[in-house]
Amino acid sequence: MNFDDTPEEAKFRAEVRAWISANAPHDLDEDLKKSGLAGLRLPGRDIMAESKAWQKKKADAGWAVPHWPKEYGGRGATPIERVVWQQEEGLYNQLAQPFAIGQGMCGPTVMAYASEDLKRKYLPKLASGEEIWCQLFSEPAGGSDVAALRTRAEKADGSDEWVINGQKIWTSGAQYSDYGILLTRTDPNVPKHAGLTMFIVDMKAPGVEVRPIHQMNGGRGFNEVFFENVRIHDSHRLGAVNDGWNVALTTLMNERMSIGSRLATGFPEIFGFVADFQLPDGPAIDNAAVRAKLADWAVKSSGLRYTAFRAISSLSKGERPGPENSIGKLVAGVMTQDIAKYAMELEAEAGVLTSQEDAPAAALFQNMVLNSPGMRIAGGTDEILRNIIAERVLGLPGDVRVDKNVPFNQAPGR
Amino acid sequence: MNFDFSDEQKQLRDSARRFLEKQSSVAVVRRVLEGDEGYDRELWQGLAEMGFTGAAIPEEFGGAGLGYLELCVIAEELGRAVAPVPFSSTVYLAAEFLLAAGNDAQKKNYLPKIAAGEVIGTFAYAETAGEVTAERIKATVSGGKLSGTKIPVADGSIADFAVVAAQSGSGLGLYLVDLTGPGVTRTVVDTIDPSRKHARIVFDGAPVEQLGSGDAEAVIAAVYDRAAVLTAFEQVGGSDRALEMARDYALERIAFGRQIGSFQAIKHILADMYVSATLARSNCYWGAYALSTGSAELPEAAASCRVSATKAFQHCSTNNIQVHGGMGFTWQFDCHLYYKRSNLLALNLGSLSVWENRLIARMRARNSARDAA
């Protein structure tokens, strides 16, 4: 039992470290260090321009998406090398955020299902950050139950084109995306999972309209996307007609594979905060009640860290990581929310302040309180994650489904 | 990175599990729970013959000299089997006190017998309710004789010797006491988990031998950190078993026309049990790493796995009963064996709040050291 790199890993790490040290945008270091849970802040700079610049630099040297095959913009790195890269990229990984969904979810789906021509057309630019992709699955009628989606794709008479009509929602990054992978209903006369088809859609095509959603925390990262008679050529279909659910599973499997990236929990932030923050009888960290709370979060935080190390160890041995990594977001989401609320509780009356100038700790915890409900919903709600653990890890039976084996257009709620 | 047990250690786990499934079946646990025997002799002898009692005792003192990772693996299996034996008192505490503070003659006298399963040892520490502190210890050694009362002493009624914390003219010290000798009166006391017996021991001029001459509190803290990691592995083993029991019952029990495991209310309880057991296991691996390498991280890692595993076992054993419904509250079902053991293990090295406090103090010390550097 050790934390040591194998000789090959050590050699790879040294190479990565040297390249990053020589090429990273060090002028952003200070701002990147200060960013984090409150989101990326680069005062006086264009975040997208900085992100694209760093991604392009990585791409030119083959580091854009290291684990992708060379011909699609990667360098054919092994899973453990991918982890080493993420660990070493560290701070600068925040700049990869606009490309995360495209590279993490859309790319693998395109790689698995698109024609060779399309792969060579789209993947290298997705890798280099020249083009940004989004994922268009959720709808007003289907969030957790994504297979209940209603957006229609119908074959246009006498042509090789499909016509899309409907609405997507919660689409991160749609406002600056060039392409998306789009899950549609092609046959409403069969049960819901059996009538879906996946496409690549040009987000600049006529009939696509993106409307930002004003979030409860004031941000506008999510969007509604409307499709009105949008035409997609059949060559841009991913997988067989009506096999879209299996294609979507490829995408969703990749969603939970990001092992090397560290999950934000707010623990280092609250630990630092209570070490300095004064209660009437001294530093908050000396208070027994505070310590009990801190200890609970400390062992969750270390538990997540070492759970990730166990998964990395599996990768290092060339094995598939076990299911234990599925707990990450479930633990981190609630914990972030609890930590933020507790810090505000310590701040007492001043906890209501939200400007960086007035609020304690530059309003970090107030921002967390307003962001954290989203963390517990995006990418699978806490409840769906518990269902996944119970069914796929513990082997419990699925819930009774009243819409199973019922044609979609006759299912309850339609 | 290889943050995992080796293939050999996993084989050891398999053989320990097979052995304990046979030798520490619930029938064996219940026999001790309901009887006056104090422990299961056959199981204890079997553990010694497997080399488990001496797993971490160096070969020069008659042990198997395997190491602490192996002992962690064994501890997990003992916890899983709620084994009714004085393993923790003898191996995690008595043997560790001897290794930490004993002179060569003391080690040679006791350690080979522990490895062979010929003696049972324990640590006699608490005297009164509340966190044990040096000031609260009233037992006193004077002229080589010990007087005072210790309660509760794990395995105190069956142990052959004890390491006793007692005051003397020069402050708190550690002493070896022959519990079969003069001046020792032992009575079994009722406890939350009767499958692990405890005693009140009254010392009235019992002859003692000093164990080490250094700072006794520091020795106790160091041994407790080591024992905390090993106990945490027992707690993780117990958590996993409680989760399995609940899962199996949720698959088997039909209510409202379906398996109760298909209800989200039950699924979510089980998912949360899995989460707490997984976090505890990962913290325990850190503890195992620190224990086996003598890392400077041990105090922090030990407190982390102790806090995490205590919570996990309490959580899993409690919810195991909940998932079983009324049947879980019966004597006949085995849920209570785990519930009782979890409540015992949560307290017998000091309670959760004590370890939480230690954890934060240690993290803070590490941060200050890092900031200073």
A139 and A163 both lie in a single domain: yes
Could you tell me if the ipTM is greater than 0.85?
Answer: yes
Distance separating alpha carbons of residues B50 and B70, to the nearest angstrom: 12
Chain A interface disruption, residue of B360, B368, B370, most A CBs within 10 A? B360
| CATH number assigned to the domain comprising residue A343 | 1.20.140.10
Give the number of A-B residue pairs with CB atoms closer than 8 Å.
164
Of A127-141, A185-199, A203-217, A316-330, give the lowest mean pLDDT range.
A316-330
- The 3-state DSSP composition of chain A as helix, strand, coil percent (nearest 5) reads 55, 15, 35
CB atoms within 10 A of CB A71: 12
Peptide bond into B152 cis (omega under 30): yes
Question: What is the per-residue pLDDT for A41?
Answer: 85
Of A191-205, A261-275, B57-71, give the lowest mean pLDDT range.
A261-275
Local structure of residue B183 (DSSP, 8 states) = T
Q: Give B65-82 as a DSSP string.
A: ---HHHHHHHHHHHHHTT
- What percent of chain B has pLDDT above 70? 100
Question: What is the per-residue pLDDT for B234?
Answer: 98
Cα torsion angle, A140, A156, A198, A77, sign = negative
Question: Using the beta-carbon criterion (under 8 Å), do A1 and B289 form an inter-chain contact?
Answer: yes
Residue A10 has pLDDT above 80, yes or no: yes
Closest CA to B101 of B209, B255, B204, B9: B209
Chain A, nearest residue to B288 by Cα: A1
Helix (H) / strand (E) element for B21: namely helix B7-23
Cα within 13 Å of Cα(A403), Cβ side = 18
Distance separating alpha carbons of residues B268 and B263, to the nearest angstrom: 9
Chain B, nearest residue to A394 by Cα: B247
Mean pLDDT within B117-140:
97
Residue B368 has pLDDT above 90, yes or no: no
**What is the identity of the amino acid at B15?**
S
Residue A256 has pLDDT above 90, yes or no: no
Q: Say yes or no: B120 contacts chain A, CB-CB below 8 A.
A: no
Question: What is the per-residue pLDDT for A261?
Answer: 57
Of A106, A131, A156, which closes a domain? Answer: A131
Closest CA to A107 of A90, A129, A83: A129
For B328-366, what is each residue's pLDDT tens digit?
999 999 999 999 999 999 999 999 999 999 999 999 998
A140 and A200 both lie in a single domain: yes
Residue A257 has pLDDT above 70, yes or no: no
Q: Say yes or no: A391 contacts chain B, CB-CB below 8 A.
A: yes
Distance separating alpha carbons of residues A312 and A262, to the nearest angstrom: 12
- Nearest beta carbon to residue A310 from set B3, B357, B360: B3
Domain membership of residue A126 as a residue range = 7-131
Distance separating alpha carbons of residues A243 and A147, to the nearest angstrom: 12
Question: What is the per-residue pLDDT for B327?
Answer: 97
In terms of Cβ atoms closer than 10 Å to its own Cβ (0-12, 13-18, 19+), residue B120 is: buried
Residue A324 has pLDDT above 80, yes or no: no
Residue A111 has pLDDT above 80, yes or no: yes
Question: Using the beta-carbon criterion (under 8 Å), do A324 and B282 form an inter-chain contact?
Answer: yes
Distance separating alpha carbons of residues B226 and A12, to the nearest angstrom: 36
A141 and A226 both lie in a single domain: yes
A84 and A192 both lie in a single domain: no
Q: Are B269 and B277 in contact (CB under 8 A)?
A: no
Q: Say yes or no: B274 contacts chain A, CB-CB below 8 A.
A: yes
CB atoms within 10 A of CB A379: 18
Q: How far from A203 is each of A209, A210, A317, B145, B298, CA to CA, in Å?
A: 8, 9, 41, 87, 54
Distance separating alpha carbons of residues B5 and B285, to the nearest angstrom: 9
Q: Which of residues 300-329 of B touch A (CB under 8 A)?
A: 304-305, 307-308, 311
- What percent of chain A has pLDDT above 90? 79
Distance separating alpha carbons of residues B18 and B33, to the nearest angstrom: 22
Mean pLDDT within A199-221:
95
User: Nearest CA of chain B to the CA of A310: how many Å?
Assistant: 6
Question: What is the per-residue pLDDT for A292?
Answer: 96
Closest CA to A128 of A53, A189, A46, A36: A53
Chain-centroid distance of CA A332 in Å reads: 14
Question: What is the per-residue pLDDT for A326?
Answer: 78
Question: What is the per-residue pLDDT for A2?
Answer: 87
CA angle at A249 for the pair A247 and A252, rounded to the nearest 5°: 120
Number of domains in chain A: 3
A179-185 and A223-233 beta bridge pairing: unpaired
Chain B, nearest residue to A328 by Cα: B275
Mean pLDDT within B84-92:
98
Question: What is the per-residue pLDDT for B65?
Answer: 86
Residue A260 has pLDDT above 70, yes or no: no
A127 and A145 both lie in a single domain: no
Question: What is the per-residue pLDDT for A9?
Answer: 93
Specify the CATH number of the domain B7-89+102-118. 1.10.540.10
Residue B292 has pLDDT above 80, yes or no: yes
Of A157-161, A245-249, A258-262, B170-174, give the lowest mean pLDDT range.
A258-262
A150 and A237 both lie in a single domain: yes
Asked if the structure places residue A396 within a domain, the reply is: no
A145 and A39 both lie in a single domain: no
From chain B, the residues in CB contact with A391 under 8 A are: 267
Asked if the structure places residue A234 within a domain, the reply is: yes
Q: What are phi and psi of A282, to 5 degrees?
A: 125, -170
Cα within 13 Å of Cα(A150), Cβ side = 12
A51 and A161 both lie in a single domain: no
pLDDT band of B31, cuts 50, 70, 90 = very high
For B136-162, what is each residue's pLDDT tens digit?
999 999 999 999 999 999 999 999 999
Closest CA to A164 of A177, A154, A150, A175: A154
Say what angle helices B335-345 and B216-252 make with each other, to 10 degrees: 160
Which residues, including other chains, have CB under 8 Å from residue A83's CB and lie 6 or more apart?
A259, A260, A312, A315
Question: What is the per-residue pLDDT for B13?
Answer: 97
Question: What is the per-residue pLDDT for A380?
Answer: 87
Chain B, nearest residue to A397 by Cα: B262
Distance separating alpha carbons of residues A298 and A270, to the nearest angstrom: 10
Mean pLDDT within A303-321:
88
CB atoms within 10 A of CB A395: 12
Domain spanning B122-214, CATH class: mainly beta
Question: Using the beta-carbon criterion (under 8 Å), do B268 and A383 form an inter-chain contact?
Answer: yes
Q: Are A102 and A132 in contact (CB under 8 A)?
A: yes
Chain B interface disruption, residue of A285, A319, A396, most B CBs within 10 A? A396
Residue B76 has pLDDT above 60, yes or no: yes
- What percent of chain A has pLDDT above 70? 98
Specify the CATH number of the domain B217-372. 1.20.140.10
Question: What is the per-residue pLDDT for A259?
Answer: 55
Q: Which residues pair with B121 in a beta bridge?
A: B161
Q: How does the average pLDDT of chain B come out, rounded? A: 97
Distance separating alpha carbons of residues A323 and A304, to the nearest angstrom: 13
| CATH number assigned to the domain comprising residue A238 | 2.40.110.10
Asked if the structure places residue A61 within a domain, the reply is: yes
Mean pLDDT within B236-248:
98
For B173-222, what is each residue's pLDDT tens digit?
999 999 999 999 999 999 999 999 999 999 999 999 999 998 999 999 99
A350 and A275 both lie in a single domain: yes
Q: How does the average pLDDT of chain A come out, rounded? A: 93
A310 and A333 both lie in a single domain: yes
From chain B, the residues in CB contact with A394 under 8 A are: 243, 247, 270-271, 274
Of A244, A278, A294, which closes a domain? Answer: A244
Number of H-type helices and E-type strands within chain A: 13, 10
| CATH number assigned to the domain comprising residue A57 | 1.10.540.10
SS (H, E, C) B295-359: CCCHHHHHHHHHHHHHHHHHHHHHHHHHHHHHHHHCCCCCHHHHHHHHHHHCCECECHHHHHHHH
Mean pLDDT within A138-166:
94
Distance separating alpha carbons of residues B231 and B162, to the nearest angstrom: 19
A19 and A75 both lie in a single domain: yes
Distance separating alpha carbons of residues A190 and A410, to the nearest angstrom: 9
Which residues, including other chains, have CB under 8 Å from residue B287's CB and lie 6 or more apart?
B72, B228, B229, B232, B233, B298, B301, B302, B304, B305, B306
Asked if the structure places residue A323 within a domain, the reply is: yes
Domain spans of chain B?
7-89+102-118, 122-214, 217-372
Q: Which residues pair with B259 in a beta bridge?
A: B254
